[in-house]
Amino acid sequence: MIISWPEVVLCLDGDAFFASVTQAVHPELKGKPVVTGWERGIATAVSYEARALGIKRGMPCWEIAKQFPHVTITHSDYRLYHLFSEKMFAVMRRYSPCVEVYSVDEGFADLKGMRRPLHMSYEQIAATIKREVENSLGITVSIGVSVTKSLAKLAVNSQKPSGLTVIPGKEIDQILKKTDIEKVWGIGFQTTAFLRKLNINTAYEFAKKSEPFIKQNFSKPYQEIWRELNGEMVYAVNPNAKREYKSITRSSTVTPATNDKDILWARLLVHVEDSFFKARNYNYAVKKVFIFLKDQSFHHHGIEIKLAEATSFPMSIRHELKEGFEKIYKKNMMVRASGATIYEFSENNQKQASLFFGNSEMETKAKSLYPMLESKKVDFGTSLFDSDRLIRKKKEIKLSLPLLSRLE
């Protein structure tokens, strides 16, 4: 017999959160296409009205402004986002003592046992939270409720924006059959390709594979996802969990503006190293890198680099970085700013080795080399691993080429 509610997990996700907050504090923008991220040069959040035009996250802002002149592009206001986030989670905590802040716009709540004290069904609790957040903050949120975190994520993503989806244990198969395997939380592009080779195209087909088959073909993180999709809670709601970043950016102004290729390459690598340094502090592996140069007309020239394997060490992707730089650098372009953004993170301890090749020799070297550099046990004579600069003390960047360029 399938128990409808062995556990109860609510997932709340702010719809196009940064853009929605902008619209909430600027009512004249309600119902209009809005993009945030002007200071980075790429779209970091896209309202649903802007998405309807074909605008996507990661698009260069100058390109959006050129193609869609009626779209409002704003600077990000992280102080304001944090304020809205705190109020959103405060509402959740009124209905559960166990709330996990997963990111600035997404969180989980353990609702098990809350029906009796609140005198409401689980669906009524979810609907009440949704109504209070939307009415008090002027934004929309989507909510999913199910028996595990993974299933609650499928529920919240099944109906957006402003959706409410409840999936008790006896209805798990229905949502799994509707869900493409690439939409499952924790399953990335490469694993999706491997699953398709095994003729597994839906979450249902994956969940219904035998345990021996899963253990034979997949590492522990994917075994845990399989168990979660089958209704077994593996990832408990943790109210003490750290907040997660969706992206990390490092940039600076070039004074005076220059078109010197070596200087720009060196500065860009410093930004890449700085952002990866922070990622390692949070135990992140990185799947995407965006590098950019901003010219004197404030146009951003950038490129997204999609990595075949998530990594925490930019040394192992130096060739990809150099190829990207060559595509955006122009000899006659005077550059006034440069920067790098990293995103699409995964936990290092849940990173699966390549299904086909295994870890590269360079990745192995990087794992042993970077800790020595950061501890100052080895000195390559660059500013790249200056401990004072890495803790963000203001200090002029030296223009010697950093470690990445020396490995070419």
Residue-wise DSSP of 174-192: HHHHHSBGGGSTT--HHHH
**Cα separation of 93 and 89, whole Å?**
6
Half-sphere exposure of 178 (CA within 13 A, CB side): 12
Residue-wise DSSP of 190-210: HHHHHHHHTT--BHHHHHTS-
Catalytic residue among 7, 49, 106, 228: 106
At 247, list the tokens.
């992206």
Bridge partners of residue 227, in order along the sequence: none
Are 262 and 401 in contact, with CB atoms under 8 Å apart? yes
Burial class (CB in 10 A: 0-12, 13-18, 19+), 391: exposed
> What's the angle, vertex CA 158, arms to CA 154 and CA 160, rounded to 5?
125
H or E element that contains 36 = strand 34-36
**Cα separation of 305 and 302, whole Å?**
10
**228 part of the active site:** no
Nearest alpha carbon to residue 340 among 42, 17, 19: 42
> What's the angle, vertex CA 57, arms to CA 19 and CA 272, rounded to 5?
110
**Cα separation of 264 and 324, whole Å?**
13
Pairing assessment for the beta strands 335-347 and 247-258 based on DSSP bridges: antiparallel
Nearest alpha carbon to residue 270 among 94, 106, 396, 357: 396
Query: How many C-beta atoms lie closer than 10 Å to residue 247's C-beta?
Result: 19
Q: Which sequence positions are flagged as catalytic? A: 106
